[in-house]
A and B are shown apart, each in its own frame.
Chain A
Amino acid sequence: MVTTPIDQTPLPGVGVRYDFTTEEGLRLGVVHHHSGRRELFLCPADDPDSARVTLELTEDEAHALIDVLGGSQIVETLSVLRQQVEGLGIDWLTLDPGSPYDGKTIGDGRMRTRTGASVVAVLRASEPHPAPGPDFRLLAGDTLVVVGTAEGIGALGALLRTG
């Protein structure tokens, strides 16, 4: 399991910065802009305060890079968790624009009753909303963290797309 500690710093009006120092002594980090844009940066060893190499990534490019690097820390941690609880799945479902649940509450969809899978957290503009209640209103672009059986998660995904 990965143990590199990652510092998280809020940047008011901009987004959130995540960074850590590599074994080579370089500070490496990512800025998540509120707009969804990602900025990757690297600081030299002799001036760890200053971002020298910066790279802008779109959301798709960021996902591509994650794939190439072999999964994020969170995903690895969760893969361990999944093995521990047999038969329990966890997944991230994005609420696409045009979904019938854009602007509806979780309770409106009676999601757990109909699919058996629960929404345990909602990520909105990279801010987590843990344990949302039935009156939590979903918006297009939200990422739903759902837990359930594989069938349940599949059913919930279909529900989000087509109602």
Chain B
Amino acid sequence: MHDQALLWLELGGLLLGLGLLARLASVIGLSPIPLYLLGGLAVGEGGLVPLVTSEGFIEIGADLGVILLLLMLGLEYTASELRRELRFGAAPGLLDLVASYTPGVAAGLILGLGPVPSLFLGGVTYISSSGVVAKLLADFGWIGNRETPVVLSLLVFEDLAMAVLLPVLAVVAIGGSPGGAILSVGAALALVALILALASRHGETAGRLVFSGSDEVNLLTLVGVTLVIAGVTEQVSVSAAVGAFLVGIGISGEAARRARTLLTPLRDLFAAVFFVFFGLSTDPAAIPGALGPAAALAAVTGLTKLGTGWWAARRAGVGRHGRARAGAALIARGEFSMIIAGLGATAAGAGSGRLGPLAAVYVLLTATLGPLAARFADRAPGSRRGGLRRRPRVAGRRG
């Protein structure tokens, strides 16, 4: 068969398979991310049906997926939401950072991954999946719940923390002399601070410069600008992902809202390819060895997220059931944990090769069990569905 024909057959079959998995996920009410990962494992080397010709294409598609995921993350919140979060949500946000980053680093050191991969493992265990959490809130009808602003505010803080963590991790990954690393980290952080400041003041102007009336022009301009910036940041060794994220933060207001609508289908396509690629590049033989540590890590960091959500919701005056829901909603990790693990896999250090399988199993577990825990929290005794008990009307209270 022609190579070209084989390429289309493989890619088409893969996307069809992913479509079926996504449909299955929506039927059983779970996030499709763990299924995409398993799909990737099945088509990887040593899997059930290894792909032959399309791997190169998938790799580029996966890189595009990372760029689009981070661009959308940057677009997700307005500058005013970020400012508000820094002012009011810092305490729960910092607790979240300490409680869920530390176990990852500790586990990495205990498993002997070495200091640099351990720092990445901390990032993997820290960031909740905003994709999975947002879907969960919408599917369970929790948007109106009183604990929901607490959950969203923690996600915004993680987003901000990402802006600082990603460049730092990217610099650490390259290694080199401590002096040079500190300088690069400083430069990266200064760039992030500059972009955040510019975005909060001139984000709408930036949006207007990029945007015009036509969707076609907007799409091409936005993706073009993002890829150019991604290329520049990659060239100065700060990772393309960071550049894309900064572009997203730089655009705000009405333009950001329109960009989100335009980019969502593109993001969904390439993000699915990224999840597959992550599974595909994970050696199935390394999975059994990673099961134990990943399960232990998932248990510990599941509990720390539960505790963080509980505490933050209690602080906001939410009752016990709401606190449990807030904690359980945060357990799922997903796309961003995998991006950080992907960055870490390229890092220097003997243990970086073990990071991928560990992160894959960890994401599989938390992205599957997190939403299940959330559903359980919702159906716990005493929080039955239905049954609106009313208070009798007080006659003449009004008027």
**Which B residues lie within 8 Å of A125 (CB)?**
254, 257
- Chain B proximity mask over A21-47: 1 for CB below 8 Å, otherwise 0: 001111101010010000101111111
11 A-B Cβ contacts within 8 A?
A9-B149, A11-B143, A12-B81, A12-B153, A13-B130, A13-B155, A17-B148, A23-B391, A31-B144, A50-B321, A54-B144
User: How many Å from the CB of B288 to the closest CB on chain A?
Assistant: 38
Bound-state CA distance A153–B136 (Å) is 45
Interface residue tally for chain A (C-beta within 8 Å): 37
Residue of B nearest to A39 (CB): B143
- In the assembled complex, how far is the CB of residue B264 from the closest CB belonging to chain A, in whole angstroms? 11
The answer on a CB contact under 8 Å between A25 and B391 is yes
Question: Is the C-beta of A64 less than 8 angstroms from some C-beta in chain B?
Answer: no
Q: Is the CB of A45 within 8 A of B321?
A: no
Which A residues are CB-close (under 8 A) to B257? 34, 125
* A44: chain B residues within 8 A (beta carbon): 387-389
For B254, give the chain A residue with the smallest CB separation: A139
A96 on the interface (CB 8 Å rule)? no
CB of B141 within 8 A of CB of A24, answer: no
Q: Which residues of A contact B145 (CB under 8 A)?
A: 43, 49-51
B393 lies within 8 A of A39 (CB)? no
CA distance A44 to B144 in the complex (A): 12
Is A52 located at the chain interface by the 8 A CB criterion? yes
Interchain CA distance A103-B153 in the complex, whole Å: 33
Interface status of B21 (Cβ within 8 A of chain A): no
A50–B393 touching, CB < 8 Å: no
Select from chain A the residue with minimum beta-carbon distance to B385.
A52
CB-based nearest A residue for B390:
A24
With the chains together, A23 CA to B392 CA distance in Å? Answer: 8
Q: For A41, what are the chain B residues with a Cβ–Cβ distance below 8 Å?
A: 141, 143-144
Complex alpha-carbon distance, A60 and B76, angstroms: 26
Known: A10-B149, A47-B383. 12 other contacts (CB 8 A): A10-B81, A13-B130, A14-B134, A17-B143, A24-B391, A31-B144, A41-B143, A44-B388, A50-B146, A102-B213, A103-B213, A139-B254
Cβ-closest chain A residue relative to B153: A12
The smallest C-beta distance from B159 to any residue of chain A, in angstroms, reads 9
CB pair A13–B213 under 8 Å, yes or no, is no
Q: Answer whether A48 and B146 are a contact pair too, CB < 8 Å, given A10-B81, A10-B84, A34-B257.
A: yes
B322 interfacial contact with A, CB 8 Å: yes
Binary A-proximity of B128-167 (CB < 8 A = 1, otherwise 0): 0010001000000111111111001101100000000000
Report yes or no: A14 in contact with B152, Cβ–Cβ below 8 A: yes
Contact flags A100-117 to B (C-beta < 8 A → 1, else 0): 001100000000000000
Cβ-defined contact, B149 with A50, below 8 A = no
B143 contacts A51, CB within 8 Å? yes
> In the complex, which residue of chain A has the Cβ closest to the Cβ of B383?
A47
Knowing A14-B143, A17-B144, A34-B257 are in contact, say whether A48-B319 is a contact too (CB < 8 A): yes
Which residue from A17, A26, A102, A124 sits with its C-beta under 8 Å from B390? A26
Assuming the contacts A25-B390, A45-B389, asked whether A13 and B81 have C-beta atoms less than 8 A apart, the reply is yes
Whether the Cβ atoms of B144 and A29 lie closer than 8 Å is: yes
Contact status A23-B398, CB under 8 Å:
yes
A19 within 8 A of B: yes
A12 B155 Cβ-Cβ under 8 A: yes
Scoring A39, A44, A48, A102 by chain B CB atoms within 10 A of each residue's CB, the highest score goes to A44
